[in-house]
Amino acid sequence: MSTIKRPKKVTLEGYGDLTLRTADYVTEGGEGAIYRKGGYIIKLYHDAQKMQRDDMSEKIHLLASSLKHPSIVTPKGLVIDSNEAIGYYMPFVQGEAYPKLFTNDFRNQNGIDTLGVTHLATKMHEVVDYVHRQGALLVDANELNWLADIKDVRQPTPYVIDVDSWQIDHFKASVIMPSIRDWHGSISEASDWFSWGIVTFLLYTGIHPYKGNLDGYKPGELERRMKNNASVFLPGVRLNKAVRDFRIIPGPLLDWYEATFTQGERTLPPSPQATGKANTNLGQIMRVVTTQSGGLIFERLLEVPGERVVSIWPCGVVRTNAGTLVDVATKRTIGQTSNGRVAVVGRDNGWVIVEEVSGAWQWRFIDRRGTESTLTVPLTVTTILRSGERLFAVTESELIELTLQAFSKPVLTLGNRWQILGKGTRWFSEVGVSNILGAMHLIAPYGANAVAMVRTSELDGLTVVNAKAGTRFVVVVTVSHNGEYEEHRFAFDKNWKQYQYDRELVDGSELNLTILPKGVTASIRDDGELIIAVPFQGDKKVVSDRDICTNLRLAHIIDKVVYQKDGVLWSLGMR
């Protein structure tokens, strides 16, 4: 069995012996289970005998010797148990999953712009070209098989993984995610470029080139639209305003996208760096419009001259693209941050601020007078979690609540602790999604000092790409092996023991939703409609207003719904 229930000693070819433990578990798929140990990722196949029948040992050695590229995470050697190959190992690389990069929220908060995407797409172009020159095919380079190192957002680095599934020499491949498959041809260099086109188009625009509303097609008919070349470039396709403007795409590449996705042409794509005016007619692309207005009140709260608001915290502090922290109530600058990950929580006498700088977490307290104090946390912290005004440190084995104590100077102390499988848990907005040896769980703080750990079998076997949580409610976005995105909604009782569940197909990984402390949610799914709901009561109201657009990014300050549009902070209320 590839799922380890007790410590297991194995040998890494070319490295030596090591012991795998349950705490090293990350996830598993159809072929095997994944573990992380130190600087390596280890894949153990479910069926070691099948590995022998498929000559995977020979293929692993061939891949390791044939592919030498900094963006290709190539197997380094076999994993041996009792003189039998049971898997392989490869270097561990740190990177963000591509579905995050598709969303406007993640891009805005991390400063990812069109130039950065063009650099990333160019490097991906170089990777595909290199693989083909080595006589190999990527076959299934879908968005889940790419990672992006965004430490330098101007020049992000792509990594392609799952190399053992590639086609090379006499080793054939046939498994490919339907959403990136070329339904008009067989597996070839052309089909690799078609898949590259799908993923890079998503990076630029945030939408799959065969989605959006089109008369004659129902949601979920992705395969039919791909077979019919019914792309987003067709007249009559309706897109919401959260979809980024196609005009940001370099002209020659935009023309290639249109010819490939709509005309069925199969040619080598130009480099994303190629410049020139596009011939593609974009005037035919429609936006969904509503004419009704008057149901809502919009109030401008904050505009920072020369800067754009990109992050909003419930305590009433925002961050701009220049890293400036501003208290919305007083419109006063309270501090400065880097462009990395930041969290702010409010206290009666000030704010606790934690930010990631060069891969390490830094902590400080700023009081209402502007006096700043450095804080320390005596832990090896892998990430942090903010839930309302509660703050947690995450290690590889624990979730630990941090409390600010006012002694002669402010001090962060360690509070309650909860055991977790850190390597198998992914953290999102106020929630963790934990894969415990194949069984999916939600980890959600609630109340004044509690944390719920809830078994959610509905998520088993799915890849989680986004999530948000709040008072008695969690929404999770997953992508299936078919490439379809789904939104899963969990509405809990007061003790987070029982929940109501529903799910729905969606176009992508974006979540434009905020959850107020009293349990009311506000969300925008379509232009012209604001959805107000109380999930655990089953209440829902749709407010139509022509000024509501999907490019309004919702958040909340205490119990007030706010949004960011074009870098300006507004509040949103009912008449």
Same domain, 31 and 145: no
Q: What is the rounded CA–CA span in Å between residue 563 and residue 555?
A: 6
Same domain, 19 and 166: no
**CB-CB contact of 302 with 331 (8 Å):** yes
The predicted-structure confidence for 67-117, as pLDDT tens digits, reads as follows: 999 999 999 999 999 999 999 999 999 999 999 999 999 999 899 999 999
Residue 348 CB contacts under 8 Å (≥ 6 apart), including other chains: none
Q: What is the rounded CA–CA span in Å between residue 197 and residue 437?
A: 35
**pLDDT above 60 for 287:** no
Same domain, 79 and 145: no
Q: What is the rounded CA–CA span in Å between residue 310 and residue 33?
A: 38
**Residue 247 domain-assigned?**
yes
Same domain, 138 and 125: yes
Can you give the residue range of the structural domain that contains 149?
96-287
Domain stop point among 255, 287, 319 = 287
Distances (CA, A) of 468 to 216, 353, 495, 539: 33, 21, 19, 19
Same domain, 172 and 273: yes
Same domain, 86 and 101: no
**CB-CB contact of 98 with 143 (8 Å):** yes
**Residue 131 domain-assigned?**
yes
**pLDDT above 90 for 252:** yes
Distances (CA, A) of 461 to 142, 279, 438, 480: 17, 43, 8, 8
Domain stop point among 287, 304, 339 = 287
Q: What is the rounded CA–CA span in Å between residue 376 and residue 356?
A: 14
3-state helix, strand, coil in the chain (%, to 5): 20, 40, 40
Helix (H), strand (E) at residue 108 = helix 104-110
Same domain, 179 and 131: yes
Same domain, 118 and 35: no
**Residue 503 domain-assigned?**
no
Q: What is the rounded CA–CA span in Å between residue 81 and residue 10?
A: 5
**Residue 250 domain-assigned?**
yes
pLDDT of 285 reads 57
**Residue 87 domain-assigned?**
yes
| pTM attached to this predicted model | 0.93
**What average pLDDT is seen over the chain?**
94
**Residue 63 domain-assigned?**
yes
**Residue 201 domain-assigned?**
yes
Indicate which CATH number applies to the domain containing 29: 3.30.200.20
Same domain, 162 and 262: yes
The predicted-structure confidence for 308-357, as pLDDT tens digits, reads as follows: 999 999 999 999 999 999 999 999 999 999 878 999 999 999 999 999 99
**Residue 444 domain-assigned?**
no
The predicted-structure confidence for 136-183, as pLDDT tens digits, reads as follows: 999 999 999 999 999 999 999 999 999 999 999 999 998 999 999 999
Same domain, 199 and 121: yes
The predicted-structure confidence for 494-546, as pLDDT tens digits, reads as follows: 999 999 999 999 999 999 999 999 999 999 999 999 999 999 998 999 999 98
Distances (CA, A) of 27 to 48, 378, 468: 18, 29, 21
Same domain, 136 and 110: yes
Same domain, 127 and 74: no
The predicted-structure confidence for 211-250, as pLDDT tens digits, reads as follows: 999 999 998 899 999 999 999 999 999 999 999 999 999 9
pLDDT of 407 reads 79
pLDDT of 498 reads 95
The predicted-structure confidence for 405-414, as pLDDT tens digits, reads as follows: 987 789 999 9
Domain stop point among 287, 309, 336 = 287
Distances (CA, A) of 31 to 25, 42, 87: 15, 13, 10
Q: Quote the Cα angle for 533-472-568, to 5°.
A: 60
Indicate which CATH number applies to the domain containing 270: 1.10.510.10
Q: State the total domains in the chain.
A: 2
| pLDDT band, residue 281 (cuts 50/70/90) | confident
Output the DSSP codes for 317-334: EEEETT-EEEETTTTEEE
